[in-house]
C-alpha cells in the first residue's frame, strides 16, 4: 500500500502536486498512487496525440501504454532532472512521437496507416468534426515539432491541457506576461506553418480549434490498464542494470499476454456482474410475486462472483511468479540485443580503437541512445573525450561513416563530429556533401548545419554556401546556426546581410538575430536591420526588433525606427519593440510611453 495521498493533493491544504513531485514520489518511495495520478492526468493527451499519428484506436492504445511504461522505467533518472514545479506534458508528447514513429518504420505498416488515415478522415466527417480541424489534424504534430521545446510545452499546457497563463508561467518558471508572449509567438508560428500548406485560419481561430479538438477522451479503463502494467514493468526494470533498463522499454509478449489476461478477467467479471445485476433489478420491479426464485438467482450470482474472484487471485499469483522468473530473461535479451547492434555497426571495420571498453561504432550507438533519453547535454563531453582519446583513428573512421551511403550511419557521424568540434574540421567537405544530399531528398538538414557551425571558422564558407540551397529548411537551418557560434564569424556577415532580403520569411527572421549575435560591422548591420523593421511580415518585424534590442546601447541608431513601430498594427510587434527600446535607451522608451 502507498502512503501517497489520493487525488494527488497535499492533505489539509489540498494543493495539487506537480508532475515532478508525483514522479519523484513514485521513483523514490514506490508510490503507485502517485504514478496512477500522472496517468490519469495525461492519458487523454497521449492517446489523442498517438491517434493522430497512427490512425488506429488499437495501435494508439499500444503507443499510449508504451509511453507510460517507458516513463515508469526511467522515473528515477527523469525525476532527478526536473524542477519541483515542472510538468511532464513535453516529455510525454515527445515520447509519443518517438513511439509512434517506431511503430511505423515498417513499409507495410505505413501502407496500412494510409488506409486507416482515409477511414479516420471519413469517420471525422461523419461525426461532425469541424472541416478546418480535418485539415489541421494530419499536420498538427509535425507543426509542433517545428517549435522549440519551451514553446511546444507552452502550447501543450495552454491549449491541450487548458491551463491558465498563471499556471503555464509557474510550470515553465516564467512570469504570466512572458508566458502570454511565448504562447502567442508559438501560435503565430503554427498559423504560418498551416498557411504554407493551404490551411487558412487566424491565430485566435487556430487556438480555439486546437483547444476544442486536440485532446479527446481515451477509452474507458485505459488509464487503469496503463497504471497497472506500467508500474509493474517499472518495478521489474528498476532491479536490472542501467543498460538493461534502456533496452527493455517494452514488455515481452509473454508479459503482455499475462497482464492483458488479468485485466480481461477483471473487466469481464465486472461487465458480467453489471449485466446480471441490471437483470435482477428489472426482475425485482416486474416480478414482485416471485421473490423466492429471485433470491435463488442472487445466491447463484454470488457464488459465480466468488468463483471469479478465486480465479482472479490465481491469475495474479501466476503473474507474479512469471514476473520473477522472466526478470533475468529480460536482462539477457537486452544484453544480447546490444551485442547484435554493436556487431552490425562494426562488421566492416578493421581493428577499431577502444576507449573505456567501447569501440568507435559502439560510441556512435551510445550517442544515439543518450540523445533519445534526453541526456545529450550532460554526456557530450564524455563522447568527445572518447573520440579524442582514440587519436588519429577517430577522424578517418567518421569519414568512412559519412561516405557509407547509409543515412543512419551518416547521421550518427555528423552528430559525433559536432560533439568533437574543431578537432574534426577535416570532415567539413564530407559533412557539406551529406547536407546537400539531405536537402536534395527534401529532408531537414538541421544536424549537418549545427555540426558545420561547431567545427570552427573553417566551416564559415561551406555553411554560408547553403544559404542559396533550393531546400528552404536547409537555408533556414544554415542561417540560424550562426545564432550560437562561439567564435568570430565576421566573414559570414555579407552572406547574412543578403539573407535579410531572402524571399523566404523564416530566412529573414533568423538572419536578424544571427547578425546581432556576431556583433561586428554594426555600421553596415544596423541600417540593414532598420530597413527590415519595415518588412511586410509581422514575424520578421518582431524578431528584428528583438535582435536590435540584444545590441544594448550599441543599437541606439535604431531608436527612431523602433519608436515608429510602437504604432504597428501587430500587437506583438509593438510589445517587442517596446522591450527593445527599454534595453537600448530606457529614457527614450519612457518618453515614448513604454511601460
Q: How far is it, in rounded angstroms, from Cα 71 to Cα 112?
A: 28
**Ramachandran assignment for 537, one of left (phi > 0), alpha (psi -120 to 50 degrees), beta (any other):** beta
Hey, how many other C-beta atoms are within 10 angstroms of the C-beta on 199?
Answer: 16
Instruction: For residue range 499-533, list pLDDT tens digits in order.
Output: 999 999 999 999 999 999 999 999 999 999 999 99
Q: How far is it, in rounded angstroms, from Cα 210 to Cα 48?
A: 12
What pLDDT sits at residue 366?
65
| Distance (Å) of CA 270 to CA 108, 266, 283, 461 | 38, 6, 20, 69
What pLDDT sits at residue 367?
64
Which residue from 457, 410, 412 is spatially nearest to 438, judged by alpha carbons?
410
SS (H, E, C) 316-356: HHHHHHHHHHHHHHHHHHHHHHHHHHHHHHCCCCCCCCEEC
CATH topology assigned to domain 488-595: 1.25.10
Q: How far is it, in rounded angstroms, from Cα 37 to Cα 50?
A: 20
Residue spans of the chain under pLDDT 70: 1-15, 104-129, 229-282, 284, 287-295, 325, 328, 330, 332-358, 360, 363-384, 387-388, 390-392
Cβ atoms of 505 and 540 closer than 8 Å: yes
Q: What is the dihedral of CA 496, 500, 501, 506, to 10 degrees?
A: 110
What pLDDT sits at residue 242?
36
Q: How far is it, in rounded angstroms, from Cα 405 to Cα 408?
A: 9
What pLDDT sits at residue 104?
66
**Cβ neighbours of residue 102 under 8 Å, at least 6 residues apart?**
none
What would the grid cell of residue 472 be?
528552404
**Cβ neighbours of residue 189 under 8 Å, at least 6 residues apart?**
146, 147, 151, 539
Q: How far is it, in rounded angstroms, from Cα 399 to Cα 401?
A: 5
What pLDDT sits at residue 391?
57
**Cβ neighbours of residue 186 under 8 Å, at least 6 residues apart?**
147, 151, 152, 154, 155
For CA atoms 129, 130, 136, 141, the dihedral sign is: negative
> In Å, how far from its chain's centre is CA 295?
57
What would the grid cell of residue 456 be?
570552427
Which residue from 64, 92, 61, 99 is spatially nearest to 78, judged by alpha carbons?
92
Q: Using the CB atoms, write b or e for 51-68: b if 16+ within 10 Å.
A: bbbbbbbebbbbbbbbbb
What pLDDT sits at residue 123?
54
Q: How far is it, in rounded angstroms, from Cα 582 to Cα 62?
A: 52
Q: How far is it, in rounded angstroms, from Cα 550 to Cα 518?
A: 11
Q: How far is it, in rounded angstroms, from Cα 493 to Cα 525?
A: 8
Amino acid at each position: 500500500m502507498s502512503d501517497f495521498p489520493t487525488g494527488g493533493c497535499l492533505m489539509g491544504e489540498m494543493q495539487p502536486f506537480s508532475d515532478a513531485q508525483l514522479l519523484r514520489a513514485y521513483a523514490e518511495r514506490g508510490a503507485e498512487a502517485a504514478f496512477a495520478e500522472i496517468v490519469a492526468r495525461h492519458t487523454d493527451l497521449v492517446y489523442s496525440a498517438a491517434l493522430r499519428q497512427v490512425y488506429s484506436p488499437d495501435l494508439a492504445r499500444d503507443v499510449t501504454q508504451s509511453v507510460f511504461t517507458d516513463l515508469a522505467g526511467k522515473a528515477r533518472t527523469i525525476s532527478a532532472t526536473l524542477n519541483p514545479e515542472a510538468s511532464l506534458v513535453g516529455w510525454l508528447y515527445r515520447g509519443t512521437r518517438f513511439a509512434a514513429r517506431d511503430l511505423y518504420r515498417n513499409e507495410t505498416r505505413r501502407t496500412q496507416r494510409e488506409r486507416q488515415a482515409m477511414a479516420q478522415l471519413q469517420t471525422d466527417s461523419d461525426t461532425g468534426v469541424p472541416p478546418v480541424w480535418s485539415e489541421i489534424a494530419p499536420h498538427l504534430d509535425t507543426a509542433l515539432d517545428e517549435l522549440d521545446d519551451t514553446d511546444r510545452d507552452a502550447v501543450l499546457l495552454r491549449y491541450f491541457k487548458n491551463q491558465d497563463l498563471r499556471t503555464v508561467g509557474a510550470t515553465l518558471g516564467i512570469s504570466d506576461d512572458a508566458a502570454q508572449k511565448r504562447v502567442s509567438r508559438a501560435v503565430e508560428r503554427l498559423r504560418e506553418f498551416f498557411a504554407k500548406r493551404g490551411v487558412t485560419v487566424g491565430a485566435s481561430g487556430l487556438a480555439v480549434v486546437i483547444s476544442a479538438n486536440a485532446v479527446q477522451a481515451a477509452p474507458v479503463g485505459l488509464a487503469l490498464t496503463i497504471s497497472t502494467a506500467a508500474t509493474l514493468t517499472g518495478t521489474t526494470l528498476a532491479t536490472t542494470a542501467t543498460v538493461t533498463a534502456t533496452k527493455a522499454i517494452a514488455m515481452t509478449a509473454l508479459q503482455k499476454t499475462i497482464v492483458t489476461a488479468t485485466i480481461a478477467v477483471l473487466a469481464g467479471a465486472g461487465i458480467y456482474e453489471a449485466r446480471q445485476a441490471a437483470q435482477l433489478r428489472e426482475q425485482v420491479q416486474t416480478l414482485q410475486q416471485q421473490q423466492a426464485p429471485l433470491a435463488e438467482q442472487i445466491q447463484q450470482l454470488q457464488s459465480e462472483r466468488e468463483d471469479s474472484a478465486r480465479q482472479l487471485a490465481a491469475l495474479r499469483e501466476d503473474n507474479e511468479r512469471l514476473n520473477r522468473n522472466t526478470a533475468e530473461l529480460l536482462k539477457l535479451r537486452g544484453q544480447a540485443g546490444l551485442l547484435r547492434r554493436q556487431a552490425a555497426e562494426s562488421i566492416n571495420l578493421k581493428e577499431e580503437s577502444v576507449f573505456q571498453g567501447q569501440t568507435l561504432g559502439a560510441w556512435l550507438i551510445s550517442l544515439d541512445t543518450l540523445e533519445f533519453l534526453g541526456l545529450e547535454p550532460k554526456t557530450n563531453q564524455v563522447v568527445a573525450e572518447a573520440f579524442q582519446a582514440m587519436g588519429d583513428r577517430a577522424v578517418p573512421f567518421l569519414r568512412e561513416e559519412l561516405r557509407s551511403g547509409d543515412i543512419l550511419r551518416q547521421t550518427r557521424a555528423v552528430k559525433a563530429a559536432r560533439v568533437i568540434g574543431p578537432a574534426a574540421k577535416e570532415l567539413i567537405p564530407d559533412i557539406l556533401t551529406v547536407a546537400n544530399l539531405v536537402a536534395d531528398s527534401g529532408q531537414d538538414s538541421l544536424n549537418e548545419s549545427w555540426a558545420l557551425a561547431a567545427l570552427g571558422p573553417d566551416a564559415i564558407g561551406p555553411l554560408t554556401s547553403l544559404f542559396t540551397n533550393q531546400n528552404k529548411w536547409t537555408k533556414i537551418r544554415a542561417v540560424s546556426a550562426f545564432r550560437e557560434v562561439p567564435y568570430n564569424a565576421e566573414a559570414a556577415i555579407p552572406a547574412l546581410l543578403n539573407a535579410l532580403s531572402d524571399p523566404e520569411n523564416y530566412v529573414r527572421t533568423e538572419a536578424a538575430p544571427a547578425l546581432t549575435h556576431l556583433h561586428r560591422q554594426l555600421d553596415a548591420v544596423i541600417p540593414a536591420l532598420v530597413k527590415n523593421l519595415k518588412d511586410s511580415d509581422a514575424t520578421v518585424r518582431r524578431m528584428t526588433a528583438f535582435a536590435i534590442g540584444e545590441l544594448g546601447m550599441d543599437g541606439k541608431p535604431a531608436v527612431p525606427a523602433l519608436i515608429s513601430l510602437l504604432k504597428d498594427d501587430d500587437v506583438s510587434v509593438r510589445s517587442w519593440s517596446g522591450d527593445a527600446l527599454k534595453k537600448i535607451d530606457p529614457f527614450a522608451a519612457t518618453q515614448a510611453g513604454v511601460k
